[in-house]
Amino acid sequence: MSIVGLSLAVVAALGGCGDDAAKDSTSTGTTETGTSAAAPTDAAPVPAGALGELVAAAEKTTSTSAKVAMKSGSVTIDGAFDAPGELVEMDSDFGDAGTIKILRVGNDLYLKAGGSIAASYSGNGKKWLHVDASKQTGTLSVEQNDPSSTAKLLSTAASDVTGSGGSYQGTLDMSKSPTVSSAVGSAGDKFKAIPFTAEVKDGYLTKVTTDMSKVAQGAGKSVTAYSGFGAPVDVKAPAAAQTMEMSAADIKKMGG
């Protein structure tokens, strides 16, 4: 959900785990909330050249509202975010393992799991799990669930970026992302030079493709696409009767 930062960190983490991510509820929790985010939201100086153009496009994309779609192996994520309104909605499908839906409304995060994944969390998927992100660190924090962190992540993790006119390529050092490093543990070194391509249209970052083949056998490519810029995003918190507080065990599974 962290773009959701959400975006590049989520894609890299999910892609690195490949189909195994769909089978490991702890891994899925970590990468979901990390979507996004993975980097502090403080504005960083915009780099020059191709990287600067790409960072500027990411800032434009993640400072408005948009739809986002991600695919990595058998894992798919679809959702939308409204950065100014602090709203996020993400639906993740892990195939046979089940699904996870995540909502963000201001500082409030809600998670609801379905399928076999649900048994890994309190309530077995019958209620939404709630946590106050302003009181959390790690992948459940406000900072790591802020769409604007994508630009910060690019400015700190991307290198050897070339291109112009809407098409770019380079490498990402995702070991600099706390979300990814916590998800992959000792495999972090494999994330230091991930090839990526990016597309920009009308000043917006519209597509990022990362090649995870060197990270995990059979991982292949992970793709994140943005669309529908500026369209209204309607996300409402679940009714109180439909929610329960996330337990300490759940928070730990989610990387908090």
Render pLDDT for 53-92 as a digit per residue (tens, 0 to 9). 999 999 899 899 999 998 888 888 899 999 999 999 989 8
Residue 222 lies in a domain: yes
Does any domain span residue 1?
no
For the ranges 33-42, 130-139, 164-173, 211-220, the lowest mean pLDDT is seen at 33-42
CATH number of the domain bearing residue 50 = 2.50.20.20
Of 203, 197, 209, 198, give the one whose Cα is nearest residue 229.
203
Instruction: With H, G, I as helix, E, B as strand and everything else as coil, classify residue 26.
Output: helix
Residue 90 lies in a domain: yes
Mean pLDDT of the chain: 76
Which H/E stretch holds residue 29? helix 25-33
Using pLDDT thresholds of 50, 70 and 90, give the confidence band for residue 35. very low
Mean pLDDT of 41-58: 74
Pick the residue with more confidence: 124 or 4?
Answer: 124
Q: Is the pLDDT score of 31 beyond 80?
A: no
Number of domains in the chain: 1
Task: Decide: helix, strand or coil at residue 219.
Answer: coil
Query: Which has more pLDDT, 210 or 231?
Result: 231
Name the pairing type of β-strands 243-245 and 128-132. Answer: parallel
Q: Are 63 and 219 in contact (CB under 8 A)?
A: no
Q: Which residues, including other chains, have CB under 8 Å from residue 211's CB and lie 6 or more apart? A: 194, 195, 196, 220, 221
**Residue 33: what pLDDT?**
32
Domain that holds residue 44: 6-249
The pLDDT value given to residue 218: 65
What are residue 64's DSSP bridge partners?
none
What would the pLDDT profile of 216-246 be if each residue is shown by its tens digit?
Answer: 666 778 888 999 999 999 999 999 999 999 8
CA distance 26 to 36: 17
Lowest-confidence region among 36-50, 53-67, 181-195, 231-245? 36-50
State the pLDDT confidence band at 255, using cuts at 50, 70 and 90: low
Q: Residue 16 pLDDT > 70, yes or no?
A: no
Going by C-alpha positions, the residue among 179, 92, 88, 190 that lies closest to residue 137 is 179
Examine residue 86 and state whether it is found in any structural domain, yes or no.
yes
99 domain-assigned: yes
Position 158 in a domain: yes
Question: pLDDT-based confidence at 46, cuts 50/70/90?
Answer: low
Angle between helices 6-17 and 149-157 (to 10 degrees): 60
Q: State whether residue 238 is helix, strand or coil.
A: coil
Higher pLDDT, 110 or 4: 110
Q: What is the pLDDT of residues 142-159, one digit of tens each?
A: 766 666 667 777 878 888
Say whether pLDDT at 253 is over 70.
Answer: yes
Task: Give dist(CA 130, CA 251) in Å, integer.
Answer: 10
- Residues 55 and 136: their CA atoms lie apart, in Å, by 27
Q: Which two tokens stand for residue 136?
A: 């959390």
Domain assignment present for residue 130? The answer is yes
* Number of alpha carbons in the 13 Å side-chain half-sphere of residue 4: 35
- Name the pTM for this structure: 0.78
Residue 255 lies inside a defined structural domain of this protein: no
